[in-house]
């Protein structure tokens, strides 16, 4: 009986010791993970004399992850600097090109010279739009700029877009109508205005007669802005292509543009958990539906 008692006591003592040892291991693993989550993990936090092989492997993994995260942060800073340099260095020469083109417009020129001057002005304007769009896109894709969705009135977006785009539509002889609609959704006002402006500008560009209509509808989860045009329309199989970076259809080659506006609009909306849907048929116009989370 005495031997049995000693064996039982020994087993109990070992169980208590084993439980305590495992608790220390789990506590240390949890500490390593907490440090990694906070971004404060350092190799010095690893104590060789108190961790198991699993802890050792975990510490190696976390150290590697910390180094990778540091490399990503450093690369992002370099990209940020590069984007700022590109934006700064190209702004002045493009502005000067446009300025001197406008000054030359006021001088006496032959028809051929004026045609060439108009081409220079148009290409300079296209270059300015391209650089601006690429800078915005790079900042979004690399996380340099983040969207800040807040509850706001979608009707404000429509009114400001109308104010910016009506003259351009009317200059082409198109009608531009906005159906009153007030609904609240969660979106970043500045960036969503950019996305909507790109889509409306695209509608005007590819519509030769008729007009553009903006309206609002609501579902249980989304508020949707409808941009309808009476333009050339898009074949169903080509709809995915128009959202590709620099994606342009063969039928649109003669129109101005660089094929990045719709791609940028989709990127903006996806980052605020919205989306774009398109309904179109050749010769029957198109409807772009921009849906924002309620």
Tokens read off for 228: 């309808």
Tokens read off for 60: 């190696």
Q: Which residues contact 163 (CB under 8 A, 6 or more apart)?
A: none
pLDDT in tens, 219-241: 889 999 999 998 888 888 888 78
The CA distance from 180 to 157, in Å, is 11
Tokens read off for 52: 């198991």
176's enclosing H/E stretch is strand 175-178
pLDDT in tens, 27-80: 766 776 666 656 555 555 444 444 455 556 666 666 666 666 666 667 666 666
Nearest to 191 by CA among 131, 271, 246, 132: 271
Q: What is the mean pLDDT of residues 151-179?
A: 89
Positive or negative: CA dihedral 153, 270, 132, 150:
positive
Q: What is the largest CA-CA distance in the chain?
A: 121
Q: How far is CA 262 from the centre of its chain?
A: 11
Residues paired with residue 218 on neighbouring β-strands, in sequence order: 223
* pLDDT, position 15: 61
The residue behind tokens 């417009």 is 105
From residue 155, give the alpha-carbon distance in Å to each of 150, 162, 248. 15, 11, 31
134 vs 251: which has the higher pLDDT: 134
Residues paired with residue 187 on neighbouring β-strands, in sequence order: 150
pLDDT in tens, 184-218: 899 988 889 988 998 999 889 888 889 999 999 98
284 vs 84: which has the higher pLDDT: 284
- For CATH 3.30.565.10, list the domain ranges present in the chain: 150-293
Tokens read off for 168: 């351009």
Tokens read off for 214: 């903006």
pLDDT at 82 over 60: yes
The CA distance from 71 to 60, in Å, is 17
Query: Up-side HSE of residue 89: CA atoms within 13 Å toward CB?
Result: 6
pLDDT in tens, 237-290: 888 787 776 655 555 555 555 567 788 888 888 888 888 898 888 888 889 999
Residues in the chain, overall count: 294
* pLDDT, position 88: 64
127 vs 69: which has the higher pLDDT: 127
Residue 220 backbone phi and psi in degrees, to 5: -60, -35
Residue 275 backbone phi and psi in degrees, to 5: -160, 170
Nearest to 153 by CA among 191, 189, 179: 189
* pLDDT, position 18: 62
The CA distance from 113 to 130, in Å, is 26
Query: What are the residue ranges of helices labelled H in the chain?
Result: 2-38, 53-105, 111-141, 154-171, 189-205, 261-271
* pLDDT, position 248: 59
The CA distance from 192 to 224, in Å, is 12
Phi-psi category of 173—alpha, beta or left, where left has phi over 0 and alpha has psi -120 to 50?
A: left
* pLDDT, position 85: 67
Q: What share of the chain is helix, strand, coil (3-state, %, to 5)?
A: 65, 15, 25
CATH of 150-293, one of 3.50.50.60, 3.90.870.30, 3.40.640.10, 3.30.565.10: 3.30.565.10
* pLDDT, position 226: 93
């Amino acid at each position: 009986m005495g031997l049995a008692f000693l064996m039982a006591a020994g087993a109990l003592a070992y169980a208590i010791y084993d439980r305590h040892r495992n608790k220390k291991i789990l506590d240390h693993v949890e500490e390593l993970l907490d440090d990694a989550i906070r971004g404060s993990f350092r190799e010095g936090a690893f104590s060789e004399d108190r961790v198991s092989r699993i802890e050792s492997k975990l510490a190696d993994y976390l150290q590697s992850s910390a180094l990778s995260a540091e490399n990503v942060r450093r690369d992002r800073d370099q990209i940020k600097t590069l984007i700022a340099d590109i934006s700064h260095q190209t702004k002045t020469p493009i502005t000067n090109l446009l300025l001197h083109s406008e000054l030359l417009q006021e001088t006496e020129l032959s028809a051929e010279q004026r045609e060439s001057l108009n081409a220079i002005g148009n290409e300079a304007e296209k270059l300015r739009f391209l650089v601006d769009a690429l800078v915005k896109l790079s900042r979004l894709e690399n996380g340099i700029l983040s969207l800040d969705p807040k509850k706001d009135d979608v009707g404000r977006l429509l009114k400001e877009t109308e104010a910016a785009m009506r003259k351009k539509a009317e200059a082409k002889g198109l009608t531009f109508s906005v159906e009153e609609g007030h609904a609240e959704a969660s979106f970043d006002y500045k960036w969503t205005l950019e996305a909507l402006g790109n889509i409306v500008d695209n509608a005007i560009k590819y519509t030769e007669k008729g007009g553009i209509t903006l309206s609002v509808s609501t579902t249980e989860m989304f508020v949707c802005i409808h941009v309808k045009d009476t333009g050339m329309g898009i074949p169903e199989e080509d709809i995915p292509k128009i959202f590709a970076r620099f994606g342009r259809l063969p039928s649109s080659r003669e129109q101005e543009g660089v094929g990045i506006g719709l791609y940028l609009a989709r990127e903006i909306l996806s980052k605020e958990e919205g989306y774009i849907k398109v309904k179109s048929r050749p010769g029957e116009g198109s409807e772009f539906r921009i849906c924002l989370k309620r």
